[in-house]
């Protein structure tokens, strides 16, 4: 029996939510963007006027956008609003299936095999109407026999449309699409495929699989399977979405970081936030991941394991700083850094020792938990480390929260 899977993508999500809360924004070119003074000046989302009339795209830098549209209105992102609407959307999806897999705040797969093909299309249309009426935003829905093509279908017609890609029509509709439209084909992979003469999904589907494996390794064979509609990945059960796989924070600082002291201050600021969110979820992590981007936009990531699963900011910051010192050669100043922690345990046991380390850790956890309560009540800026006062221009920063959950 063929599977039937929907992929729902809420259109221009951040901008649409802002327009729903403030309808006047629908009538002017508007983008949701970062703080240009703090060097976060890129387009995160745009409304239909900005997109269709001025050709503004997500990811563009705002100073270039202003050249085409000097009167563009820039709205600062409000993640709490977006999270709220995202949760409400997930509740709607759950009315139709117990297999609902999120793919970011604004996208999700829904397994509707139990409805069959015809009724799955009706469900897609019903979902779009329900989202529009109850959430005040529009959505595009792809309907297909696998997750990859369902995702592609939701991208093909926007806004507020249903696209069906079946085993009968996918060659006519999917294969002419540029290969970059296929999920997981990023810029680097697109360039490598282009060197092989592969420009469309059809080119990829008809290419010799063995040659792809030679050129791209196992990943080439996987992409060939995707292009031929051979994705068998299941939609995860609804309750799996609450299993957090990693928690992180990152920031682009208002000025470049030029010495280790600068980096250390920012890492402690990030670690405070990561540790607080770990404690809020009752989690301890064993693997610390550091990401660094320099002023030339070169990026690297490194990770290490700590001796005991931790939710303490000091232990997280020191591990991240150790990774930085071992791996950064200071050819260029640092533009942005991030900390992420994975490999979680809930309330792990810590081995006792003769030197009282376990006792001191327990005291520190109680102290940081108390700080969490004060910050939750009065705001994050009410209490901070004294060292932050030495360079407020880089520690008083906007942090980008990251939750990674089970995905495809």
Host H or E run for residue 324: helix 313-327
Q: What is the pLDDT of residue 241?
A: 44
- Is 208 tagged catalytic? no
**Distances from the Cα of 276 to the Cα of 56, 299, 365, 372, 383, angstroms:** 37, 26, 10, 6, 13
Quote the CA–CA distance of 141 and 153 in Å, as a whole number: 7
Host H or E run for residue 300: strand 299-310
Q: What is the pLDDT of residue 187?
A: 83
Q: What is the pLDDT of residue 407?
A: 41
Spell out, as residue ranges, where the chain has pLDDT lower than 70: 1, 36-40, 238-244, 346-359, 361, 375-384, 386, 388-389, 395-408
Q: What is the pLDDT of residue 278?
A: 87
Q: What is the pLDDT of residue 199?
A: 97
State the first-to-last Cα distance of the chain, in angstroms, to the nearest integer: 22
Tell me the pTM.
Answer: 0.69
Q: What is the pLDDT of residue 344?
A: 85
Q: What is the pLDDT of residue 403?
A: 46
Among 107, 167, 368, 402, the one annotated catalytic: 107
pLDDT in tens, 142-179: 999 999 999 999 999 999 999 999 999 999 999 999 99
Q: What is the pLDDT of residue 52?
A: 92
Domains assigned to the chain = 1-166 (3.30.70.270), 175-237 (1.10.150.20), 243-405 (3.30.1490.100)
């Amino acid at each position: 029996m063929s599977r039937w899977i929907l992929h729902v993508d809420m259109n221009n999500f951040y901008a649409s939510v802002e327009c729903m809360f403030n309808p006047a924004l629908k009538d002017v070119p508007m983008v949701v963007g970062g703080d240009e003074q703090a060097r976060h000046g890129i387009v995160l989302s745009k409304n239909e006027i900005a997109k269709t009339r001025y050709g503004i795209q997500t990811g563009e830098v705002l100073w270039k956008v202003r050249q085409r549209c000097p009167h563009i209105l820039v709205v600062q992102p409000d993640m709490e609003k977006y999270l709220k609407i995202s949760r409400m959307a997930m509740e709607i999806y759950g009315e139709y299936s117990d297999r609902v897999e999120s793919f970011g705040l604004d996208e999700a797969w829904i397994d509707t095999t139990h409805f069959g093909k015809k009724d799955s299309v009706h469900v897609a249309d019903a979902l779009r109407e329900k989202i529009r009426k109850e959430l005040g935003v529009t959505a595009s829905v792809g309907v297909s026999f696998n997750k990859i093509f369902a995702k592609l279908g939701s991208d093909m017609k926007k806004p507020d449309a249903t696209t069906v890609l079946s085993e009968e029509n996918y060659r006519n509709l999917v294969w002419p699409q540029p290969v970059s439209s296929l999920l997981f084909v990023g810029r680097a992979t697109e360039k490598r495929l282009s060197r092989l003469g592969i420009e469309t999904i059809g080119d990829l589907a008809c290419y010799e699989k063995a040659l792809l494996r030679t050129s791209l390794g196992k990943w080439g064979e996987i992409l060939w399977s995707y292009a031929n509609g051979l994705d068998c990945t299941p939609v995860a059960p609804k309750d799996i979405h609450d299993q957090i796989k990693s928690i992180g924070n990152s920031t682009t600082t208002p000025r470049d970081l030029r010495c280790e002291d600068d980096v250390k201050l920012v890492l402690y600021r990030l670690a405070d936030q990561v540790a607080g969110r770990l404690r809020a979820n009752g989690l301890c992590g064993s693997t610390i991941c550091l990401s660094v981007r320099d002023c030339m936009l070169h990026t690297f990531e490194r990770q290490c394991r700590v001796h005991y699963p931790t939710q303490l900011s000091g232990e997280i910051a020191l591990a991240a700083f150790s990774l930085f010192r071992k791996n950064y050669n200071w050819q260029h100043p640092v533009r942005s850094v991030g900390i992420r922690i994975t490999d979680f345990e809930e309330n792990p046991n810590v081995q006792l020792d003769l030197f009282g380390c376990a006792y001191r850790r327990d005291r520190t956890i109680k102290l940081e938990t108390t700080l969490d309560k004060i910050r939750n009540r009065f705001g994050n800026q009410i209490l901070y480390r004294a060292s932050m006062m030495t360079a407020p221009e880089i520690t008083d920063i906007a942090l980008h929260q990251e939750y990674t959950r089970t995905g495809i």
